[in-house]
Structure 1
Amino acid sequence: MNVYIKTNTMFKASGILFLVFLIVALLISVEATETWDRMIGESLYRIGEMDVFFIFLSYIGSKLFFYPALVVLTIFILFKRNWYMALFLWANLIGVRLLNTLLKTIFSRDRPSLEHVVEAGYYSYPSGHSMNSMAFYGAIAFLCYLIIKLSWLRNTLMTVCFVLIGLIGFSRVYLGVHYPLDVLGGYSMGASWLLFLSGIYLKVVHNKKMNSLSNYG
């Protein structure tokens, strides 16, 4: 498949997911939906009594884990002299975190009144852990798809990434620091950001290859 078609599809999907994010934002302003969101969140609060497990998941969906992990990953990538990939990963993480802070400020939704199992500051919508983990682990899944040739290994690693994303989002509701719609909004915006940036990355890398071939010719 041609790179133009791939990137064009990514940009369209990014736009659709951004609309989904706005629809979810609209839903939390509707009293009936907000009530159901609160009720579902309360029903999932500390269900199953697995605090340690979900606190750990929350940790690997936080900046305390992302930045050290990205430093290690960057060292490996730069050893392979893949400067564009390293730039992509850092732009992805820093950009999504800044975007999340901006969106939280705009929507200013208060966090659940439940007792928080972990420390949580600032506003609730969209969930930062959900949005950031979608971008971070989604980017790793994207790179696995591009780089790893063995299908079983590629598919296994991509599955692990998406399972982690799902569990991290759920952990935030379990721990009482977010509502379900906060998580859904975080997922949709995180995926929108990732697809947009991935499309740009593919274009840049493709143009670089074309220029190299042209110079070689």
Structure 2
Amino acid sequence: MKLKLHLVMAFLISLTSIIGFCLMSLWISDHKIVHFDSSIIASIQGMETPGLTRIMKWFTFIGSAPFVAFLSLFLLFFLYKVLQHRMELILFVYAVIGSALLNQFLKQFFHRVRPELHRLIEIGGYSFPSGHAMNAFTVYTVISFLLWRHIPNRLGRGILIAISAMMILLIGASRVYLGVHYPSDIIGGYFASGFWVGTAILSFQIYKEKRYNRKYKRQRDFA
């Protein structure tokens, strides 16, 4: 019953995310989201202070590819050595690498130029969807999924979800604050990553179930 619930939830997340991403890309292509982007940018950049800029640069750093690669290596070691999770390594690597490749494909497909309104850092490449947003959503969602069952109480699980959500939102907000992404780039990144992670978890759960059934069948045949 629990497996079916996980499969349904993963499917719904993936379906909702792909619909959201398609709508966002259509609104961007039709220039129907310009006012939304401008309003959010004005609100976030209106809070600019030297101290907040340093904080946002830090969140941008921890959402960057080099830091995500370092964090991923640490988590792979933790999963393998501490939690003894062999199969979960497949999910984590598949999700993180696949998300990065999907982001590059989508950037090249949409060719959206970065905003030029008020940049606090300089960066090249295309804007939609945000790679930082996809990195953050993928890594922290998969971490939450893998660690969830190892936390014995609701409070601990609630803290895990709250920290993950905060990291995802702040890394995304830092990109808008620093002037290198439109808010719609961030939301599109979340949707794209949601689709990829949902699909990855769905595939992983189906694989685990088939593997368990084959093992159970062999044990029953030898009994």
TM-score in terms of structure 1 length? 0.92
Q: Contact between 1:44 and 1:173, CA under 8 Å: does it hold in 2?
A: yes
Moved more, 113-122 or 137-146: 113-122
Deviation above 3 Å: which 4+ runs of structure 1? Answer: none
Letter in 2 for 1:34: V
- Which SS does the other structure have where 1:31 is aligned? coil
Moved more, 201-210 or 98-107: 201-210
Q: Does 1:184 align with 2:191?
A: no
Moved more, 74-83 or 29-38: 29-38
1:136-178 C-alpha deviation (Å, 9 max, x unpaired): 1111111122332233222211210111101111111001000
Q: Does 1:51 align with 2:70?
A: no
Give unmatched runs, 5+ long, in structure 1: none
- Percent of residue pairs identical: 29
TM-score in terms of structure 2 length? 0.89
Distance 2:73 2:29 in 1: 39
- Counterpart position of 1:153: 156
Letter in 1 for 2:89: A
Distance 1:32 1:15 in 2: 23
Q: Does 1:76 align with 2:109?
A: no
Letter in 2 for 1:133: A
Cα distance change on mapping 1:17 and 1:32 into 2, 3 Å: closer
- Counterpart position of 2:28: 28
- Which SS does the other structure have where 1:112 is aligned? coil
| Structure 2 counterparts to residues 1-217 of structure 1, below 5 A | 1-45=1-45, 47-49=47-49, 50-79=52-81, 80-217=83-220
Following superposition, the deviation at residue 187 of structure 1 comes to 0.8
Following superposition, the deviation at residue 184 of structure 1 comes to 0.8
Q: Contact between 2:132 and 2:172, CA under 8 Å: does it hold in 1?
A: yes
Q: Contact between 1:46 and 1:176, CA under 8 Å: does it hold in 2?
A: no
- Which SS does the other structure have where 1:123 is aligned? coil
- Which SS does the other structure have where 2:29 is aligned? coil
Cα distance change on mapping 1:48 and 1:113 into 2, 3 Å: closer
Following superposition, the deviation at residue 111 of structure 1 comes to 0.4
Moved more, 187-196 or 30-39: 30-39
Distance 2:121 2:15 in 1: 33
Distance 2:122 2:209 in 1: 43
Distance 2:156 2:8 in 1: 28
Following superposition, the deviation at residue 192 of structure 1 comes to 1.2
1:173-198 C-alpha deviation (Å, 9 max, x unpaired): 00100011111111111111111101
Distance 2:2 2:38 in 1: 45
Letter in 2 for 1:178: H
